[in-house]
Each structure stands twice: as C-alpha cells, then as structure tokens.
Chain A
C-alpha cells in the first residue's frame, strides 16, 4: 500500500499547483470537478492485473514512472516537423496542441459555418464556465476508471468543438497533439469536448504524434455528444513514439436516431490502452466502432470496447483488426450491454488478428450482457497466421516471398483502411503501413 500512495503522490503535486492557481480555468465548477476526480483517483489507484478490465495490460511501468507535468518543460518548437503532421495539403480546420497546450500560431480555421465553435477547451471554459456544468465529464465517467479520473483532475487543455443544430461542417476538424519529450519523463492529459447538436454533422480527426527521444505519457479523454439525428465521424490516429505510453478514452454519447463512428488506428506507443465507450441512449441509433492495430517489437496494444444499448432499434457494429509482429501483444475486449428496454437491438462484433511471428500474441474476449429478449447479437474472433495456400499461389505467379507476405498483410488491413473516409488520413495510414512492410513501396496503387 505504501507504494501505491507514493505513485499517487506524483500527481498530487500537479494537482496542488492547479488548485493554487489564482485565476483558475473553468471557474469554481471545474475546481469542484477536479477535486472530486482527484479524490476518486486517490481511492481507485492505478489498476493492477487483478482488476478484471486490466487483466492483460500491466500499467505498473506507467504507475511507477515519475512523470513531470509538461508545463514545467520548455520546448524548442520544430515548427516544420509539426506542420508536416497537419495534412498541410488538405483544407482541414486545425487545432494544434504541443505538450498539451494550445498552439494558436500553428492552428487555423477557415470559413466555419455560423455558430460553430472550434478552439481551445481552456479558453472556452474561461469564457463560459457553464459548459463545465452542462457537458464536461457528463459522458466519460471517472468513477471506475483511474486514468479518466486522473485526466479529469489534471486536464489543462484540449479541443472544444460545438456544432449547432442543423449545421453541417463539411471539412474535417483535425486535432493534432504533438508531444516533444524532454530529458525527464513528461505527462500530458489532453481533454476534448465535442458537442454536435440535433441534425448536425461533423468529422473529427485526432492525431497523436511524438517528436524526439524520451519517455512520455499521453493520458487523453475525448467526450463526444451526438445530438438527435446528428452524424459524427471520429478518427484517432495514434502515432506516438515507441517510448511513449498512451492511455485514451473515447466516449460517445448518442441521442435518438443519431449516427456515430469511431476509428481507432494504433500504430505507435510502448504500452497502449484505448477505451472506446458508446452509449446509445435514444431509439434508432447507429454506432460503428472500427479499429486497426499493428504493433511490432515489444509494443502492447489493448482495445477495450463497451457498447451500451439503452433504447430500442439500435445498431452497433464493431470491427477491429490486428496485425502483430515480433513479440507484440494485443488485447481486445468487446463488451456489449443490451438493456431490458433495448428491444430490436442489432449488435455485431468482430475481432480478427493476424500473427506474423511465433512470439506475437493476442487475448480476445467478447462480453455480452443481454437483458432484452428480442435482439440480434453476434460476435466472432479469429487469430491466425498468413494463409499458406495464398502465399504459395502468389509465389507460383512469380511474386517474391517478401512481396507476397507484404501483399497479404496489406490486404488484411485494407478493409479497415478503406473505412477511413477522409482521403488524406486514409492515404497517411496506408503509407505508414506500406513503409513498415518489406517491399511495401512496390505495393503502391493496390487499393
């Protein structure tokens, strides 16, 4: 227990600093929220392998590292490297955050429809603290998730997006989080709040990038409220360095007849944990959760999904694919809860894994809790290796072993990549994958 107290103490000083600020962001409401979340974190402590939801992911290394708040760390901005990560060719609206803080000079918006707000969460809460009361931490519960509690207690900034009723934001909004680690390990707690009112439409792209050497920890939470009949597409492309820890929650809250999708692409990171939670809290909701993870080396990627059908006629589709090489480890948990009232629910879950090495491994586990009696609920998981017959077929046509292997790996990922709608993001993910594959350059133009 002594050790646990010490682990938590690391974050107490950061909290004390926020508490001591003379002009705190978000007013008293946020202070109250932070205080409750900090208290909850102190009660929960970091999860261990004994915790059912963390059975396969050991976060002891995260818990034991003495991370410093990024605010104490001065950085030499490599602007060119950052701009290169913003899809400069695309007409996206951009918010850039460096070490957790909003970088206004690197951000840009153009021609946003009237009433749409896209900006820094800290600034928004400063201007109008009522957002805290109405939305912040209303969707992503910190009661039983230590990392979300920690984020809620220590959040400094992140993105705020508000789309009013009936408004369609045509160009995607790109949120770029760049971490430039220093000599000592640093931690950032990005916090994003996305609110799409009734019948609105918006696409959000989150990119996480690490520049330079050094250990760091991204502990991020994104809350997305999808109003009645609204359409929200969300992408998270995680490309942290292999020295980084990344723990992130994507929380979707859906009202009646809304459509939401989340695409979680996990490429970087040492220990990675994604919690993707969707609450379908209105009739006729449509929810799609896609994922692609491609760990190699000693990377560990844990995708933890929870879809809660609260009302009738909801559709949910979960489709996660993993390609694991070397000694990489994957974890997939897909929990689907269908409440008593959620009749005519149609929930489908698949998790397919391709193991490229004998040392790679995956733990995959569906968890269905169905309390309604008229529902369709299916799940399927596969763990396999490259199809030997397909390999031989390709080679028998003159394609080398390396190229054939790469071709099959790329084809396996292709289905997930094809689901990424914004072309620049799709091209980026495709390119990263090709660069990882032997003779990948020759696979250009496959799709």
Chain B
C-alpha cells in the first residue's frame, strides 16, 4: 500500500529525514517509535502533504501512485488520513459542517453520492459512540475549547468518519490519561481491516499495550535503525532508545 524509499526531508535547511525506507501493506499495523526530534512527526506531516517540508530525495508511493505529487486534499480523498498531534482550533467553523464537507469531498472523489444533513447526522452519531464523544461537540466550532483528550478522541472520530485506507496517528497517545487512551485504542482496533493499514507514531510503549502492532520500527536521527515485531517495543521500553541506536552503530562499525 505504502512504499517509502530513501526519503530525505529538509526543514528550514536542516535535514531531518536522512534516507528513510518503510513499506506498509494492507491490513498491517505498524508502529514507529523514536526519541523526540528523531523525525517521527516530520514523516507524518510529509505523508499528509504539509508544504513547509522539503523532500530533497527519495520517493513515496501510495497504491503505486507518487504520493508526493498530490495536494493534501487529494491525498485525503485518495484515502490517506493523519491524526494530528496538535489538532487545530478553527473558530466559526462548526464541527458538523466541517465533517460533512470532508466526508462529501471524499465520497465525491470515490464516485459515491453525497450525504445530506439528515443522513449525515445518523451516520456520524453512530461513529461518535465508537469514541465516546458527546454529541454536543458537533454543534461547537472545530476543536475550539476542546480539552486535550477531546481533541485526540476527535481525531479518531474523524478517522472513523472518513474511513481511510491508510491512517497515520501522530502521537495521538501523548497527553492522554489511561481511560482516554483505552477509548482511542478501542477506536483504532475496531477499525482494523484487511484492506486498511495503520502507522502509529508514538514516543511511549504504553499505547502498544492496547494497540498490538505487527511491526515496530525505531527511528533515530532521521533513519529507521531497527525493525522488528511487537517484542521490540518491550525491549525499547526496557533499554531505551540509546540501545537501539548503539546496537545499529556497533553493527555498522563491525561491518
């Protein structure tokens, strides 16, 4: 589904990603872990199409298409979704209206009929239960005055509404208490399907107690230094990121 090859990305003249390779197949749950500043969020933003990041080398294919050529909205319509680490407050834009506009943009792109306000409301309420969202939030402006936990749950709720093929969760777990974390994890788990893939970016192993990944990758200084199964997350938790980094450096030194 997603192939990233030798991806180099600059932010304001500094190279953040330094040759990243990653392949994600349909139905898989990948977790990307790494210390602060390693480039995790940069990868998420680049995949979503943020234009402040400059791709200097490499390629990203999504279902065989060059993802980097697409505008952010085209990517969303093609089925790429990113749950924002810091969801943006948009005063004056009602949540219900925003979501309907988004859903209908995606539906239109897929050649499906657009939902009217009534159909949409029924559809959305069902999804709200999934992440235990208060229906009152639909009447409020997008993310405005939401608590940190509400914002993060809101992202998962949007994911459920938009039904993407590839969902990238950018530190959705940070700042969540254990109850909210479980709700987020339940939301994600309920959406796992053979034709949908996830890339869960996290700083902590904690989330992976609830969302069990098929693959764990460790990102250090712009490169994936180690990949493995879910047991890698446990090992990291125990030994720290320094261990993953050192082990790869030792390996490089030995060869």
Give A contacts to B, CB under 8 Å: 387, 389-390, 392-401, 403-404, 407-408, 410-412, 414-415, 442, 445-447
* A445-B97, A446-B97 known; A397+B162 contact, CB < 8 A: yes
Question: Cα distance A389–B45 when bound, in Å?
Answer: 12
Of all chain A residues, the one with the shortest Cβ separation from B72 is A395
Using a CB-CB cutoff of 8 Å, which residues 74-99 of chain B contact chain A? 75-77, 81-82, 84, 87-88, 90-94, 97-98
- Contact for A396 among B82, B97, B142, CB less than 8 A: B82
Question: Cα distance A415–B162 when bound, in Å?
Answer: 29
Q: Does B1 count as interface, using CB distance less than 8 angstroms?
A: no
Q: In the complex, which residues of chain A have a beta carbon less than 8 angstroms from the beta carbon of B48?
A: 392, 396
Q: List the 7 closest A-B pairs by CB distance, nearest first.
A: A411-B92, A398-B76, A397-B102, A398-B105, A395-B72, A393-B88, A395-B73
Q: Does B106 count as interface, using CB distance less than 8 angstroms?
A: yes
- Contact for B71 among A389, A395, A410, A447, CB less than 8 A: A395
Question: Cα distance A398–B84 when bound, in Å?
Answer: 14
Q: In the complex, which residues of chain A have a beta carbon less than 8 angstroms from the beta carbon of B75?
A: 396
Q: Does B158 count as interface, using CB distance less than 8 angstroms?
A: yes
Contact indicator A445/B76 (Cβ below 8 Å): no
Q: In the complex, which residues of chain A have a beta carbon less than 8 angstroms from the beta carbon of B158?
A: 397
Question: Cα distance A401–B76 when bound, in Å?
Answer: 12
Q: In the complex, which residues of chain A have a beta carbon less than 8 angstroms from the beta carbon of B84?
A: 393, 396
Known contacts A392-B49, A399-B105; can you find 8 more A-B pairs with CB under 8 A? A390-B90, A394-B90, A396-B76, A397-B98, A403-B105, A407-B98, A445-B117, A446-B97
Q: In the complex, which residues of chain B have a beta carbon less than 8 angstroms from the beta carbon of A393?
A: 84, 87-88, 90, 142
A-B contact pairs, 14 of them (CB 8 A): A387-B90, A390-B90, A392-B49, A394-B98, A396-B73, A396-B76, A397-B73, A397-B102, A399-B101, A407-B98, A410-B92, A411-B91, A442-B101, A445-B117
Minimum Cβ distance to chain A for residue B47 (Å): 10
Contact indicator B102/A398 (Cβ below 8 Å): yes
Contact indicator B76/A407 (Cβ below 8 Å): no
Q: Does B65 count as interface, using CB distance less than 8 angstroms?
A: no
Q: In the complex, which residues of chain A have a beta carbon less than 8 angstroms from the beta carbon of B97?
A: 445-446
Q: In the complex, which residues of chain B have a beta carbon less than 8 angstroms from the beta carbon of A442?
A: 101
Minimum Cβ distance to chain A for residue B60 (Å): 16
Contact indicator A400/B117 (Cβ below 8 Å): no
Q: Does B125 count as interface, using CB distance less than 8 angstroms?
A: no
Q: Does B109 count as interface, using CB distance less than 8 angstroms?
A: yes
Minimum Cβ distance to chain B for residue A294 (Å): 15
Question: Cα distance A407–B95 when bound, in Å?
Answer: 12
Contact indicator B73/A400 (Cβ below 8 Å): yes
Question: Cα distance A125–B37 when bound, in Å?
Answer: 77
Q: Which of B72, B98, B106, B109 has the most CB atoms of chain A within a 10 A radius of its CB? A: B72
Question: Cα distance A30–B248 when bound, in Å?
Answer: 95
Minimum Cβ distance to chain A for residue B162 (Å): 7
Q: Does B192 count as interface, using CB distance less than 8 angstroms?
A: no
Q: Decide if the interface of chain A is mainly helix, strand, loop or mixed.
A: helix
Q: Does B129 count as interface, using CB distance less than 8 angstroms?
A: no
* A396-B82, A442-B101 known; A401+B92 contact, CB < 8 A: no
Using a CB-CB cutoff of 8 Å, which residues 190-228 of chain B contact chain A? none
Of all chain B residues, the one with the shortest Cβ separation from A409 is B92
Contact indicator A399/B102 (Cβ below 8 Å): yes
Question: Cα distance A447–B72 when bound, in Å?
Answer: 26
Q: In the complex, which residues of chain B have a beta carbon less than 8 angstroms from the beta carbon of A407?
A: 93, 98, 101
Contact indicator B102/A446 (Cβ below 8 Å): no
Q: Does B50 count as interface, using CB distance less than 8 angstroms?
A: yes
Contact indicator B88/A398 (Cβ below 8 Å): no
Q: In the complex, which residues of chain A have a beta carbon less than 8 angstroms from the beta carbon of B142?
A: 393
Minimum Cβ distance to chain B for residue A388 (Å): 8
Question: Cα distance A401–B74 when bound, in Å?
Answer: 10
Q: In the complex, which residues of chain B have a beta carbon less than 8 angstroms from the beta carbon of A411?
A: 90-93, 141
* A396-B76, A399-B102, A401-B73 known; A446+B162 contact, CB < 8 A: no
Of all chain B residues, the one with the shortest Cβ separation from A413 is B92
Contact indicator A408/B93 (Cβ below 8 Å): yes
Of all chain A residues, the one with the shortest Cβ separation from B161 is A397
Question: Cα distance A324–B164 when bound, in Å?
Answer: 37
Contact indicator A415/B92 (Cβ below 8 Å): yes
Q: In the complex, which residues of chain B have a beta carbon less than 8 angstroms from the beta carbon of A396?
A: 48-49, 72-73, 75-76, 81-82, 84
- Contact for B50 among A392, A408, A410, CB less than 8 A: A392
Minimum Cβ distance to chain A for residue B169 (Å): 13
Q: In the complex, which residues of chain B have a beta carbon less than 8 angstroms from the beta carbon of A397?
A: 73, 76, 98, 102, 105, 158, 162
Question: Cα distance A389–B84 when bound, in Å?
Answer: 11
Contact indicator B73/A399 (Cβ below 8 Å): yes
Contact indicator A398/B77 (Cβ below 8 Å): yes
- Contact for B92 among A404, A412, A445, CB less than 8 A: A412
- Contact for B94 among A389, A398, A447, CB less than 8 A: A447
Contact indicator B90/A398 (Cβ below 8 Å): no
Contact indicator A414/B92 (Cβ below 8 Å): yes
Minimum Cβ distance to chain B for residue A328 (Å): 21
Q: In the complex, which residues of chain B have a beta carbon less than 8 angstroms from the beta carbon of A445?
A: 97, 117
Using a CB-CB cutoff of 8 Å, which residues 98-134 of chain B contact chain A? 98, 101-102, 105-106, 109, 117
Q: In the complex, which residues of chain B have a beta carbon less than 8 angstroms from the beta carbon of A398?
A: 73, 76-77, 102, 105-106, 109, 162
Minimum Cβ distance to chain B for residue A284 (Å): 32
Question: Cα distance A445–B100 when bound, in Å?
Answer: 11
Question: Cα distance A415–B93 when bound, in Å?
Answer: 10
Question: Cα distance A400–B105 when bound, in Å?
Answer: 8
Question: Cα distance A392–B76 when bound, in Å?
Answer: 11
